[in-house]
Structure 1
Amino acid sequence: METGSSQSRKISSQLSHHWLILADSTGVAENLAAKLQQQGQECSLVYRGGKYHQLAAGKYELNPCVLQEWEQLSQEISPKTSQLPLRKVIHLWSLDVAASEELTVEELEESQLWGCGSVIYLLQTVLKTSDYPQLWVVTRGAQPVSPDKEKLAVAATPLWGLGRVVSLEHPQLWGGLVDLDPQKTEQEVEMLLQLLVNSSEEDHLALRGEQTYIARLVKQSVPEFTKAVSLSSDGTYLITGGLGALGLHTAQWLVEKGAQHLVLTGRNAPSETAQETIEQLEQAGSKVRVLLGDISIEKDIAQIIQQIQTSLPTLKGVIHTAGVLEDATLQQMSLEHFSKVMAPKVAGTWHLHKFTQDLPLDFFVCFSSIASLLGSPGQGNYAAANAFMDAFVHYRRSMGLPGLSINWGVWTSGGMVDRLAIQHQNRIYTSGIGNIAPEQGMYALEQLLGSQSLTEQVGVIPVQWSVLAQQLNNSNKNSLLRELLQKEKLPQDALKQNAEPVILDRLETASESERQGILMEHIRAQVVQVLGSSSSELPEVNLGFMEMGMDSLMTVELKNRLQTQLGKTLSGTVAIEYPTIEKLSQYIFKEVMGWKSILDSEVNLSNLENIDNKMPELEKISEEEFEALAIQELEELNSML
């Protein structure tokens, strides 16, 4: 992270708003509320509890895992009862997470429900209202800022991955992420207040002492080997998720590098393809043991490690590739979907660490994802889960243990992308993110392992930066990538894409007779891009979005594109409520932009009157003249639509 600065500024008395604060038990929320109230702001504090009830005026308690209680809170603080509009939501609950060294796996899993789970339910509730408050998520010691090896509060780190997805799916609700100093300071509440009030361009911030830091991804060249990777022939290497395609690619690479003893884990027996690969590895001289179990279950991983220790050579390396997908937009996500994806990445990583931390490992590698770095629409759970793994590797390194987290891009074979529907694969491939062939991925893994002392976390992502810049600028602040994009020396148009939307300029300068047609064709072009189809395959304007092959994630992307390009806030369900290009175009034209249709105008009525006035003359003309006149009138009408 880089240092930044912010100037102290009071909130204007003319900008009094309602702030909803999810209150911690350490006093930050109450101090923040007091400062806000001194400046004329209204505050409602919400504490975690067992059941919804009002504690006092402006103070509530609820069960974070019950959606109906969030809806009850929403009714209580609605415009009917609050004098001021809700404009800010500050999530401080993660300040209550236990220190990493004191955590149990039960506490870790529970904290995800009242941490990330509460954000999901909060969003689902807010999206049912007419409010569009900015959501700010605040953690403490959850990000690696100092060059010193800080022991991160790993239980809070998934919120950073989830937050990046919120910024993509619902940019109109996005404020940002702030990480407080691990050690509480006297000035932090005032500094936090200034960030919440002043920050409009930055959404990845951290406070350390009196300094404010901003996060940037930086480009790193592929490191030169500090030592050649040569694996021990008398050591054992464990691959979780080892029966999947990516795990098997990794197993083949390990054998090529000298591994003679492999343990591959999975929840189910090997497929026919996996069994064939295992036989090939054994024919190459390696001994492969398949141990079935769920690594998110403590007794399963305990048995796996015990079997290795009692019947195989010393465990020398762990590569954690296990993972599951359960994609859904945040608006549709259930806590069950969320927890299913979190389990192998959170509890699984925790168990692997617990049962191997005293062993002489040469490496402990986590296969993470680009989703936790940049966010991925429809994968809030997956981004959160991988963000935990990323941070946990930093935590291991602070303990002097080996650790490397690799945020992989899209694999051509064997990656999670293979499990996505074809339309979502197309969207990824047209977003500027390139493919990683298995041999390329293994080459990168070898280089990183050969120089793993240089970094804890690295992204391996083939990128077309100009394309990616446009995709990201369609939806969020893009502060994390700003330095990378500038160093790529992209044209200013790419860096400032949509700062002055071209379509909005066209619409505002177009004549009334042209405007509605321009908007409809623009929406049709955006639908084509969302579907990932060819520009020559233009969909019918009266065909339903779902009939075209859209799903809920795609409707969110369409909404985000249009609201950014038009500079107007659209509801999260706008493409469901107006489910064709024509209906959506008419709604945006009249209700959102406030323009009057030419069909409603006096000009059009005048033209219709002109047609009526010509009716007596029609009786005197020939059939050919009548047809020519009819075509002329139709062309004039079409030009006005």
Structure 2
Amino acid sequence: WRQLLQSLGEWYTRGGTVDWQAFHEVADDSPPRRKVHLPTYPFQRQRCWVDETLDKGAKTDLLPETSLFNLLREGDTEQLAEQLRKAEGLSEKELEQLPRLLEILAKQYRKETAANDIKDWLYEIQWQSQARPSVVTGPSGHWLIFADRGGMGKALAGRLEESGDSCFLVYADKAYQNQENGIWRIDPARAGDFDRLFTEAFQEEALPLQGIVHLWSLDAADTRELTTETLAQAQLLGCGSVVHLLQAQASKAKTSQDRADPSRSVASSKLWLVTRNAISVAQHSNPSAQDPLAVAQTPLWGLGKVIALEHAELWGAMIDNPEVTDLLAEIRAESDPEENDDQVAYRDGQRYVARLVRSSPPVPGNTSLSPEDSYLITGGLGALGLKIARWMVDQGVRYLILAGRHDPSMEARELLDGLEEVGAKIMVASTDVSDQGQIAHLFEEIDDGMPPLRGVIHAAGVLDKEILVQQDWDRFHRVMAAKVEGSWHLHTLTRAMPLDFFICFSSSASLLGGFRTGSYAAASAFMDTLAHLRHTMGLPGLAVDWNMWASDRASQDASLNNPDKLAGYAMDTEIGLRILGVLLGQADSAAQVAVLPEDVSTFLQDSYAGQDPPLFLSELYRPVVDELSGPSDFIKELEKTPPEKQRDYLAAHVQSEINKVIGFGSSQMIDFQKGFFDLGMDSLMAMELKNRLQTSFGCSLPSTLVFKYPTPIALLDYIATGILKLESQEKAAVKQTVDESEEVLGEVEQLSEEELEALINETLRI
């Protein structure tokens, strides 16, 4: 049999035609067969089983080549029972129990093999202990501290002033007030207050701005006191104020970058975001029910990942739970982006840094779907929600509640009708989960008309992509509401219910960030910590940080970078549902898991192409600088150009690349003295320009290139002298003159006396 298969395979791979259907129809006495999904695209690399040839003398009981194992693998418990009945040694009572035991065995086998199949897709955050950074005493300057009411900001200012710095303290309040003593009060909701603050605080005669420390999140409501209102206020105090701060800082930098005044440092002063107990450090003493995780502060961690991408030039770090001494060390640390961690937590005086690592293989759990209980899917009427609903019915579920903000479409209704035809009872609810009254009413309807609720899948979400400097708070909060307020309402309304699982569909944006996904990443980070909070309360909770589903455009749009470029990494729906099935089975053992492509290194290489990835990813991926194997076409042409003309050739090339990025005509003249942002460039364009120049020169360039050299002339000077080591035009011209003189002198030395006399007479005659 094996030889027959080998021969057919060799014939087929050499171009021969095989009637596989006919082969299967006549080969009735063959061993059981199964379909195996093989990779057909480069991005689908995965492990595939290979049957090894067994030694003839080897014992084959229950090994992969035996019929018993094949029957178990196929789940054919009837044939398996029949085979075992023929064996001797089983009593009549044992034979009666055999079918049930084999069903349990087959089910457990499926669980374990499914868990093994998906293990390469799963990742988790690991917190590693690390020494405090080295502190450097830099030049004196201003520090802008958005101070908390608990006194940490004031204490930090005192320590900084002891070393010769000056500090401005800014407190959150209901109206703008400059108290003239280095203290401001501003409204977090008013973007104009932040613009006014930067205008008044940083005049031309002011000392340079060394950095900005944001501590307002420390004033957010305690988790035990959270209500819908205080949760919304906390988001404004945290994410809302940081977005307005970032916009004001970027605006001030734009207006000052062309002037050689001290306030120009606003363009590169770093931002540090500080929280307290906002994240779970799994291997150390975490907040408990008596001192719960501060979920209201957590969205700032998702937002920070996006700031790091969109504004690398302004990014410092996120720091959780530091003492004043710890915080001082962090903001005064040596500034080396390649060595500095930007996700830091302190627990009991120990410093921890975050790393994304492969997750341990999932352990099959005891959670299972029951035909007797009901299950809620929010976002259940969307494309992904409907696929989950159909999958759950295929698993035996007979009672489903699908909640969505809109009525089901015609296609959705057809699918629901099909599910009901196979015996499922579907409750459709037009419910906005961010509205506490609506979701409470839905639970009343579930209590009245459905069996006990045993599981929740929160897959509702809204995506509104925009870069942070163009965001407004209403749009930002609208995206936050479905995931933040929605998951919080589900949490509070189900706390007393004996749920088997509570699964939040989060996003990998909360871990990796993503251009134009600030609000989505922030909202997803909230759900991540909510799952950890539920675990500390003894409740089931699992946040799944999904990457991209092939069937869900929203998850693709929330990807790290260009969704079209990364579309090949989108997860097939069948794989996603298989992963969901395994995670659901162990939903009571893990609080958070990330689902990323199996070939994560290649995925991250493509995602961060031309960018500096954070140390958070260093366990999985180290960027490979794409040094050219030989000089690029531009470098070859530059080398052919006379030295005195090389700078002009470089300037023309830089201008062409700038025009391509901004969208100007290739030959359009630009003002080299004008700032990039005044020319119409934004942060994403700045990254694209850096990537294009990096390719041209065949070397790595810093991600902050355009921000450190904010005008075309400054950039040109840096490239000419710092990268390509070109001589100045004046020096090149002098060198050319000297070279020409030496060449003429050499020719003269070769002349005879008669030829030299004739040359002199000819020259004098001219």
Q: TM-score range by the shorter chain?
A: 0.7 to 0.9
Q: Give the 3-state SS of the residue equivalent to 2:563 in structure 1.
A: helix
Contact 1:472 1:478 in 2 (8 A): no
1:597 to 1:6, Cα distance in 2 relative to 1, 3 A: closer
What is the Cα deviation at residue 569 of structure 1? Answer: 4.5
Contact 1:563 1:569 in 2 (8 A): no
Aligned to 2:215: 92
Aligned to 2:584: 449
Moved more, 515-524 or 115-124: 515-524
What is the Cα deviation at residue 55 of structure 1? Answer: 2.4
Aligned to 2:425: 287
Q: What amino acid maps onto 1:114 in structure 2? A: L
Deviations 1:577-625 (A, max 9, x none): x9xxxxx7x7842698689999987979999xxxxxxxxxxxxxxxxxx
The answer to whether residue 135 in structure 2 is matched with residue 6 in structure 1 is no
What is the Cα deviation at residue 442 of structure 1? Answer: 0.6
Q: Distance in 2 between matches of 1:64 and 1:313?
A: 46
Aligned to 2:275: 139
Q: Give the 3-state SS of the residue equivalent to 1:127 in structure 2.
A: helix
What is the Cα deviation at residue 474 of structure 1? Answer: 3.5
Q: What amino acid maps onto 2:232 in structure 1? A: E
1:168 to 1:297, Cα distance in 2 relative to 1, 3 A: same
What is the Cα deviation at residue 563 of structure 1? Answer: 9.1
What is the Cα deviation at residue 75 of structure 1? Answer: 1.0
Q: Map 1:194-273 onto structure 2 (within 5 A).
A: 194-198=329-333, 200=336, 201-227=340-366, 230-273=368-411
Aligned to 2:202: 78
1:349 to 1:597, Cα distance in 2 relative to 1, 3 A: same
Contact 2:483 2:523 in 1 (8 A): yes
Aligned to 2:314: 173
Q: Distance in 2 between matches of 1:236 and 1:345?
A: 22
Q: Distance in 1 between matches of 2:668 and 2:604?
A: 30
Q: Distance in 2 between matches of 1:215 and 1:334?
A: 30
Contact 1:160 1:384 in 2 (8 A): yes
Deviations 1:549-594 (A, max 9, x none): x99674254256479954484667999xx9xxxxx7x784269868
What is the Cα deviation at residue 451 of structure 1? Answer: 2.0
1:525 to 1:336, Cα distance in 2 relative to 1, 3 A: same
Q: What amino acid maps onto 2:306 in structure 1? A: V
Q: Map 1:51-62 onto structure 2 (within 5 A).
A: 51-62=175-186
Contact 1:139 1:156 in 2 (8 A): yes
Deviations 1:5-48 (A, max 9, x none): 12564624xx1121100000111111110000000111111000
Aligned to 1:362: 500
Deviations 1:501-554 (A, max 9, x none): x99x969995654566568768978999x99xxxxxx99734899xxxx99674
What is the Cα deviation at residue 424 of structure 1? Answer: 3.9
Contact 1:161 1:373 in 2 (8 A): yes
The answer to whether residue 168 in structure 2 is matched with residue 44 in structure 1 is yes
1:73 to 1:563, Cα distance in 2 relative to 1, 3 A: farther
Deviations 1:399-428 (A, max 9, x none): 00000000001111124146689x942133
Q: Distance in 1 between matches of 2:409 and 2:659?
A: 39
**Normalising by structure 1, what TM-score?**
0.79
What is the Cα deviation at residue 111 of structure 1? Answer: 1.1
Contact 1:24 1:95 in 2 (8 A): yes
Q: Distance in 1 between matches of 2:608 and 2:690?
A: 11
Quote the sequence identity (%): 36
Aligned to 2:520: 382
Contact 1:590 1:597 in 2 (8 A): no
What is the Cα deviation at residue 226 of structure 1? Answer: 3.0
Q: Map 1:543-622 onto structure 2 (within 5 A).
A: 554-558=684-688, 561=691, 565-567=700-702, 569=704, 588-589=715-716
Q: What amino acid maps onto 2:326 in structure 1? A: M
Q: What amino acid maps onto 2:243 in structure 1? A: I
Please list every run of 5 or more consecutive structure 2 residues that lacks an aligned counterpart in the other structure. 1-126, 254-263, 671-679, 695-699, 737-766
Q: What amino acid maps onto 1:35 in structure 2? A: R
What is the Cα deviation at residue 468 of structure 1? Answer: 1.7
Q: What amino acid maps onto 1:11 in structure 2? A: T
What is the Cα deviation at residue 429 of structure 1? Answer: 3.4
**Normalising by structure 2, what TM-score?**
0.67
Contact 1:171 1:560 in 2 (8 A): no
**CA RMSD of the aligned region, Å?**
3.7
Contact 1:162 1:381 in 2 (8 A): yes
1:279 to 1:593, Cα distance in 2 relative to 1, 3 A: farther
Q: Distance in 1 between matches of 2:202 and 2:604?
A: 39
Aligned to 1:480: 616
Q: Give the 3-state SS of the residue equivalent to 2:167 in structure 1.
A: strand
Q: Distance in 1 between matches of 2:652 and 2:363?
A: 53
Deviations 1:219-256 (A, max 9, x none): 115414234x6311111110000000110111111111
Aligned to 1:126: 249
Q: Distance in 1 between matches of 2:526 and 2:541?
A: 13
The answer to whether residue 300 in structure 2 is matched with residue 162 in structure 1 is no
Q: What amino acid maps onto 1:242 in structure 2? A: G
Q: Distance in 2 between matches of 1:409 and 1:524?
A: 36
Aligned to 2:604: 468
Larger Rg: 2
Contact 1:149 1:397 in 2 (8 A): no
The count of residues paired between Structure 1 and Structure 2 equals 563
Q: Distance in 2 between matches of 1:149 and 1:8?
A: 27
Q: Distance in 2 between matches of 1:295 and 1:574?
A: 47
1:442 to 1:4, Cα distance in 2 relative to 1, 3 A: same
Contact 1:222 1:447 in 2 (8 A): no
Q: Map 1:321-332 onto structure 2 (within 5 A).
A: 321-332=459-470
Contact 2:178 2:185 in 1 (8 A): yes
